[in-house]
Amino acid sequence: MSHPYNGLLVVDKPQGITSHDVVGKLRRIAGMRKIGHTGTLDPMATGVMVMLLGQATRLSDYLIRHNKGYIATVQLGVTTDTYDAEGETVATAAVPTISDADLETALDAFRGPIEQIPPAHSAIKRGGKKAYELARQGKKVDLPARPVTIHQLSMLGRTDSTVDLEIHCSAGTYIRSIAHDLGQSLGSGAHLSALRRIQSGAFGIKQAKTLEEVKALGDAGTLANAMLPLGTGMDEMEKITLSEDDCRALMFGKRIQCDRVTDNSIRAYNNAGELIAITKVIEGLMRSEKVFQQPK
């Protein structure tokens, strides 16, 4: 099947479908199979999914590392096996009287660099199988703690039994684990009852389009107008604009002279502002890691 589109599309995922379902719907709308994304959302979660179409799928290794932002609701007093509202209740407890000061003290333990144990019901593999597959079989799953960073953790509001949080964190952070661990520290147990992703790297919820809006654009033949060009959201990576001759050399796999001194990858653009390649400079010579344009 042809690839009519090459770019990024920010989608507002609805509740009740998987991330794979979003990919499937977009494949039908765009009429192409080469579609990926920069990070999954559980079925109960909504919000920002950065979809990669065509050549943009080759940028996933760079974009998936970006920080994420969420609005989360934590339900105190009920613990579930999945750490969220989709799981089975495994314990209930009375919610003690908790002052705002006590809650802030509990939240302090989750701010900054922390070691987090992922949920047993996760896609992390153990012995070649996904952890959630083992957990569903009733097998004990022990996942090691891993480092994540909580850049911002703010309480937006609360009731006697719920807490609304805004969380900005490194990629790979499980918000379900924060909810569960917060409940344990408060002595009541807890689970994640609602989650909305509001940020993924440079892409925010205000940019996101619903699947209905995306379908309308597809039906009208204007989907390309809503897409972002290759290289968008990668400002942390150095950018260089090259001559036509140097761009052609990179496209053909040749190395070109470059006076940049860096171990980091560099985005190479042509004079038209199109991303040509992701490159590396070694001993004064720039070579392409990934090429996105073909010689004309």
Active site residues: 42
* Cα 254 to Cα 183: distance, rounded to the nearest angstrom: 57
Query: What are the DSSP E strand ranges found in the chain?
Result: 7-13, 35-37, 46-53, 68-76, 78-80, 89-92, 112-116, 125-126, 129-130, 146-158, 162-169, 190-200, 203-204, 238-241, 256-257, 266-269, 275-282, 285-291
How far does Cα 54 stand from its chain's mean position? 18
Whose CA is closest to 11, among 38, 50, 45, 59?
50
Strand partners, 75: 162, 191
* Cα 291 to Cα 289: distance, rounded to the nearest angstrom: 7
Whose CA is closest to 46, among 85, 78, 93?
85
Do residues 119 and 181 make contact, with C-beta atoms less than 8 angstroms apart?
no
* Cα 50 to Cα 257: distance, rounded to the nearest angstrom: 35
